[in-house]
Amino acid sequence: MTAASNEVSARARLADFARVATVRVDDAAEAIGRIFCPHDLTPVDHSEGDFFASHNCAGFDGFSVNYVAYGGSVVINPGCLDRFFLLQVPLHGSAAIRTAACEVMTGPAVCASLLSPTIPTDMTWRGDCAQLILLLDRKLVEHRAAALGGVAVRAVEFDPAIELIGSLGQAIAARIDHLVALAERLGPHKALPRLAAAEWREALLNALLTDQPHSLRSAIAVFNGRAETQPAALKRARAYLETRATEPLDLAELADIAGTGIRALQLGFRRHFGTTVSEMLLDIRLAQLNARLKTARPGERIVDIAFELGFTHLSRMASAYRAKFGESPKATLHGLS
């Protein structure tokens, strides 16, 4: 190992989760490619003699946190990631991220990058670059975006730059660092409890989809009434639906709670949320069902959870769930996607 590799290794995170450690370019490309995706890996700027690769990986339900470091300077060309999003937080060195539309320069405490699976990307890591990398399953992100936006599941493409000096960047970097520290305390032989992993994942997804620019952001803003000033009557109505989602819909009661007429309430939902009252209630119930299924205890049945949440027609529920999340309730319950 070179002096540079020893220096970076001394700062390595997730050391007990080592997956790759090599000074051979071909071995690094093959081994790391099996974990992430196939890619071209090329040392540049006369870095062949300084090259090394380290990859440590702690896996969770639907995501993983990784420490990746390369010695010298390398060009990495994965093309389209296809199956996942990559959130990369630099710890050392720098990286240039290039897409067809833009180039982002990242560095410690300055800027992180968020790679979307449908956007072709290539990267140049320089100065013995080391990064913490969060891998998020594509379906998790797209399903959460669909639920937040009240739309069918579709591709989501993020702005690739996350400023680490901003509130979102600072919060994300702190959250990832906390996850890494937690994994290091648990070690490779103890799993993070499923409920804790699900809560961590959902909080991060909500933060990214709410605050980071992306292709469905306007749909989410409209569905949540943020595209324009939201009348107090609609705020009361939506809050009431969310707290009473398990109960049958009574439009007259809802209009009375909102302090408006039924017709005005219906028109307000169309204008501010882009949906009907009934459709919003269904979407709230589906989102609650999705969250319950992901954190269900052993032995819990879909039918019991569905009835608790106010679903009375199971076949209609299953069809709506598949249209919303791209999979059956059973697949979500058993983690089959």
What does the domain layout of the chain look like in residue ranges?
3-219, 228-333
Q: Which two tokens stand for residue 111?
A: 């800027």
Residue pair 183/197 in contact (Cβ under 8 Å)? The answer is: no
Whole-model pTM: value is: 0.71
CA–CA gap between residue 100 and residue 95 (Å, rounded) = 17
Residue pair 36/83 in contact (Cβ under 8 Å)? The answer is: no
**Does domain 228-333 bear CATH number 2.60.40.1840?**
no
- By C-alpha distance, which of 126, 144, 99, 55 is closest to 337? 144
Q: For 84-98, 149-163, 212-226, 276-290, which range has the lowest pLDDT when averaged over its residues?
A: 212-226
In this prediction, residue 180 has a pLDDT band, given cuts at 50, 70 and 90, of very high
CA–CA gap between residue 12 and residue 55 (Å, rounded) = 9
Tell me the per-residue pLDDT of 115-127, one tens digit each, with 9 for 90 and over: 999 999 999 999 9
Residue pair 78/122 in contact (Cβ under 8 Å)? The answer is: yes
Query: Residue 9: pLDDT above 50?
Result: no
Q: For 70-74, 92-96, 268-272, which range has the lowest pLDDT when averaged over its residues?
A: 268-272
Residue-level pLDDT at 193? 81
Q: How long is the chain?
A: 337
Residue pair 66/176 in contact (Cβ under 8 Å)? The answer is: no
Do domains 3-219 and 228-333 share one topology? The answer is: no
Exposure class string for 166-182: b at 16+ Cβ within 10 A, else e: eebbeebbeebeebbee
Tell me the per-residue pLDDT of 310-320, one tens digit each, with 9 for 90 and over: 898 889 999 98
Would you identify the CATH topology of the domain 3-219? Jelly Rolls (2.60.120)
Cα–Cα distances (Å) from 217 to 101, 146, 176, 324, in that order, read: 18, 10, 23, 17
Tell me the per-residue pLDDT of 139-153, one tens digit each, with 9 for 90 and over: 889 988 887 887 778
